[in-house]
Structure 1
């Protein structure tokens, strides 16, 4: 299980990093949750001055390695952070740290996942699961695809065999970010897997938990189930929000 946050617009990177730290150490955790602390590595993706994406990964706990990343003075209009709690103890180390990365013809895709989907490998025709998040990345975004089709993606999510919890994810390329908000309807701890959105005058923030240091809880809007949000970087405005029927 993991925690995610993405900010787009005008914001202080340190505030977003502080929010990720609060989520990783359980400061902002809800009362009834399966996991409060997320110490098994972390990663970040951000936009550079020339519109490219840069990334950082670390196998250590965020609280122990944040300063060594050199992101405190980062100036960017998009920053996403992932802090991880490994569902399976053997799936730890830098190999399993997010963001996962894929290089397609037009450029890179970065991927961050919160949840556990141990059956998604079956949809890829594999004999067993090696790393559910990597398999989910391949399933959610077939190779060579440079945009995420909302309706077909929601259909594919519903076709994942029973088992597991959530498919909440961030997919980022140099043109846009997609926020996938989807949890298996029968999974426990639905509130734990509900993403929240904070709309500020100059920034748009989506996170796994309300972060009081950014705004009081009543200002965080819970995303509806089965929602995919498309956040293009070119216009600075959200292009569309689509939901399942």
Structure 2
């Protein structure tokens, strides 16, 4: 397989197509994950999230496609593939892995929520990408979406977690957002280590002097180094490195 290639599931096989052959139909479902030297974190959860979002009539085809997509991924090097459902077509995008970072600057997005299906990964990727462009124009890497009341929900391309002492916290479950595989993995790891976890509705201002993380499948855990036009954040020395190592150790060979 070649880098940055696109493959269509057709006649029970993956066939490479040009970008011009990709249907203009909006994405119904998508999922992506980091592959590093043939290892992936919580691939079963990515698979389940993707299949759960696929319409029932396409579920059997989706299972065959996903299995073939995994089998086709390179086992050497670093990649960030994405599986997609567009209308009736399943696609695999094989993308060379971009630069990975340990920190991120964030900014609160205060406009109207652009998400049309906030609990499904895929339909809103383009709209969330526009949020990222706006964030970068203000010197930030990630836009943080807020409720109408100003409470933190999630980042455009990340989930958000924070620490209250030794308690790992996140937004309330009832806040509509994508079920982040990475956030779920981090929270599960915390509980396995005997740490308490907690859900709370917070405004950015209520995270002042708090260690805040944005987490996703590409970068894993990134610490928020600055909240642009927002609260001053903190960092406990050594914690980020320790947790990035712990999370990385959970990756398994595909």
TM surpasses 0.5: no
The alignment's TM-score, normalised by the length of structure 2, stands at 0.35
The alignment's TM-score, normalised by the length of structure 1, stands at 0.36
Structure number with bigger Rg: 2
